[in-house]
Structure 1
Amino acid sequence: MVRPRPQIDTIAMYSPGKPVEELKREKGLSRIIKMASNENPFGFSPLAEEAMQNEMKEITLYPEVTSPLLAEKLANKLQISKDQVLFGNGSDEVIRLLTRTFINEGDEVVMAGVTFPRYKTNVIIEGGVPVEIDMQNGTHDLAAMAEAIGEKTKMVFVCNPNNPTGTIVEKEALREFISQVPSHVMLVMDEAYYEYADAPQYLETLPLLPQYKNMVILRTFSKVYGLAGLRIGYGLMDPELVGHLHKVKEPFNVNRLAHAAASASLDDDDFLYESIRLNREGREYLNARFSDMDLTYFPTQTNFIMVDVGVAAEDVYEYLLNEGIIIRPGHLMGYPTMIRVTIGQREDNERFIDCLQAFIKDYSRQS
């Protein structure tokens, strides 16, 4: 039997939220509420739908390798150079390109102890060594992360807002941390949930790019723009870094429909702002209901909330599955009594709360 490289034996397949179709088959349910994968429950821009329909006539042709028109459009919107933009098959691919391009065997990569798991996986695949730093109240411990940077450190990941906790690091603390990362160490700022962050203490990192040529900013069209199924994300960085990644990435990694939809989405600020507004309303509703139920939760700046239900997360997960509601149990992420729930439409949020209250009531009665 052909054996894989030793690193492959130390990692597991990525575990996504349970698919809607699978739960329908298993439970015989006709209506499923998916609140597990941080997708946009409000859909996507109608301009994107129109653009994809128009693009269908070109589907027999390969897309352009570097997405030049989309890069120029996004760069103009962000007021940077198009040479600073690189698109990926989701920002996940950009993460993989970064580790594949820059991580040698034995290089250390500093990251939070509970964060997006694909950082660690991709580092291990390349033979690197993940250095995981314990969280403080669901937030990156930047001081400890700075201390962990040593001679072998090649890269640092900061997910801000953080997945799965939804928390952010305070503006001045992050600014100081960025200044402490040595120029030969790559700092990857994963901002997949950037558009949802509205707290005054959230740091805008994009203006810092010219000063810190070792910094990479990751963003995506999967979340607030609602294009998760098309798989298109991007990295913002120094043009020299973009050049290195272009040598490594697959030539036609972003398909034509994704290009068209992303480009059209950039024209629809009304959809963008409405999604942000509705998400904020849902966040406030769920936070208030959790407080009414005396449940603690991490302060979120995203489209999901991690809440401590005080009992085994697996039990809540299974109960909600039987009610046709999919969430993410926290025991898989280092929080055995917490669940992560995506903020949904109003009626979905209300249904989730009703079911959660029923579970807690039943559990208390049986205890």
Structure 2
Amino acid sequence: MDLIYLACLAYLDPGDEMIISAGSFISARIAGTIMNANIIQIPTREYRHDLERILASITPKTKLIYLDNPINPLGTIVNRKELAEFMAQLPEHVLVVLDEAYAEYITSRDYPRGLDFYNQNYNILVLRTFSKIYGLAGLRIGYGFARPEIIQTLMKVRLPFNANRAAQVAAIAALSDTRHVKRSRQVNEAGKAMFYREFKRLKLFYLESYANFVFVNFTVDSSLIFDILQRKGVITRTVKEYGFPTALRVSVGREPENRRFLKALNETLAYLRISTPAAD
């Protein structure tokens, strides 16, 4: 998240434009707003980045485009072909910030890797984090890669000592712990499958996710469901600030935690008498 802020600080002046999908990670929008940039929010198409519309929205004032792939909190992606065509049409004056926070969860060959676009010398800053599959969220450590001149620009606005030694040591060790990554990916896939089966049985609208959470929609204000679940000891996430007032983002946990959530959800829906399908 620190690199998102640094990118906005380095590349945005008041009045510049930053393009972001409506429904994307809200911290990027906040960072652009802090810089007094004009935030151009592009509606998603079928809950995915509308890359054609993003391209069409670029003006001489556009300095930065933020793409989270997968989108947080939707869990959807754009594929390799779509992103390649998008990058090939991008004007040179625009920097793409490609946030791959959940990339390690994805095994699909159709998932585009930012490293490929970096190797092709595109104007791109690729972000990764140790807060997700590596489980180091409390250490607040991540990394990014880009062309040398982009990194040099970011270094001009970076505060010194923004990553402590303990976090750096843990991050380096985590990179070699392939067994943990593989096991976490397996647990995540099994948990998502469990959620999908139950959401389908309950006739709830949900999105198949490439991340470690699932977006699920209801027919009532999601705060009602959130509050009841919380009283039952289960914490989810409302996503009203993303434009989805009746949806929750549910993180995937270990099997006992997933079962506890589903049991609490069934009890909550029965209490609220919610049983009808919730489409978009």
TM-score by length of 1: 0.73
Worse-superposed segment, 217-226 or 164-173:
164-173
After superposition, residues 266-277 of structure 1 pair within 5 angstroms as 266-277=175-186
Give the one of 218, 232, 235 matched to 1:323.
232
Match of residue 83 from structure 1:
none
After superposition, residues 1-367 of structure 1 pair within 5 angstroms as 92-364=1-273
In structure 1, C-alpha distance between the alignment counterparts of 2:66 and 2:241, rounded to whole Å: 20
Measured against aligned partners, the alpha-carbon deviations of 1:83-104 in whole angstroms (never above 9, x if no partner) come to xxxxxxxxx1111111111111
Verify the 8 A CA contact 1:199 1:301 in the aligned structure 2.
Answer: no
Instruction: Specify whether residues 223 and 102 from structure 1 end up closer, same or farther in structure 2 by C-alpha distance, changes over 3 A only.
Output: same
Alpha-carbon shift at residue 256 of structure 1 (Å): 1.1
Q: Hey, which bits of structure 1, 4+ residues long, moved more than 3 A? A: none
Identity %: 36
In structure 2, C-alpha distance between the alignment counterparts of 1:288 and 1:315, rounded to whole Å: 23
The AA in structure 2 aligned to 1:254 is A
Measured against aligned partners, the alpha-carbon deviations of 1:282-306 in whole angstroms (never above 9, x if no partner) come to 1111111111111111121000000
Verify the 8 A CA contact 1:159 1:189 in the aligned structure 2.
Answer: yes
In structure 1, C-alpha distance between the alignment counterparts of 2:193 and 2:274, rounded to whole Å: 29
Alpha-carbon shift at residue 329 of structure 1 (Å): 1.3
Measured against aligned partners, the alpha-carbon deviations of 1:131-173 in whole angstroms (never above 9, x if no partner) come to 0001122211111111001111111111100101010013211
Q: Secondary structure at the match of 1:337?
A: strand
Alpha-carbon shift at residue 271 of structure 1 (Å): 0.8
Instruction: Specify whether residues 353 and 239 from structure 1 end up closer, same or farther in structure 2 by C-alpha distance, changes over 3 A only.
Output: same
Measured against aligned partners, the alpha-carbon deviations of 1:326-366 in whole angstroms (never above 9, x if no partner) come to 10013232111111000011011001101111111121189
Q: Secondary structure at the match of 2:74?
A: coil
Q: Secondary structure at the match of 1:127?
A: coil
Q: Secondary structure at the match of 1:109?
A: strand
Alpha-carbon shift at residue 212 of structure 1 (Å): 3.3
In structure 2, C-alpha distance between the alignment counterparts of 1:331 and 1:240, rounded to whole Å: 38
Instruction: Specify whether residues 210 and 322 from structure 1 end up closer, same or farther in structure 2 by C-alpha distance, changes over 3 A only.
Output: same
Instruction: Specify whether residues 365 and 147 from structure 1 end up closer, same or farther in structure 2 by C-alpha distance, changes over 3 A only.
Output: closer
The AA in structure 1 aligned to 2:228 is Y
The AA in structure 2 aligned to 1:246 is M
Measured against aligned partners, the alpha-carbon deviations of 1:199-231 in whole angstroms (never above 9, x if no partner) come to 343112212213234111001001000000000
In structure 2, C-alpha distance between the alignment counterparts of 1:268 and 1:111, rounded to whole Å: 34
Larger radius of gyration: 1
Measured against aligned partners, the alpha-carbon deviations of 1:12-52 in whole angstroms (never above 9, x if no partner) come to xxxxxxxxxxxxxxxxxxxxxxxxxxxxxxxxxxxxxxxxx
Aligned alpha-carbon RMSD (Å): 1.5
Unaligned segments of structure 1, at least 5 residues: 1-91
TM-score by length of 2: 0.95
Alpha-carbon shift at residue 129 of structure 1 (Å): 0.8
Instruction: Specify whether residues 366 and 113 from structure 1 end up closer, same or farther in structure 2 by C-alpha distance, changes over 3 A only.
Output: closer
In structure 1, C-alpha distance between the alignment counterparts of 2:275 and 2:188, rounded to whole Å: 35
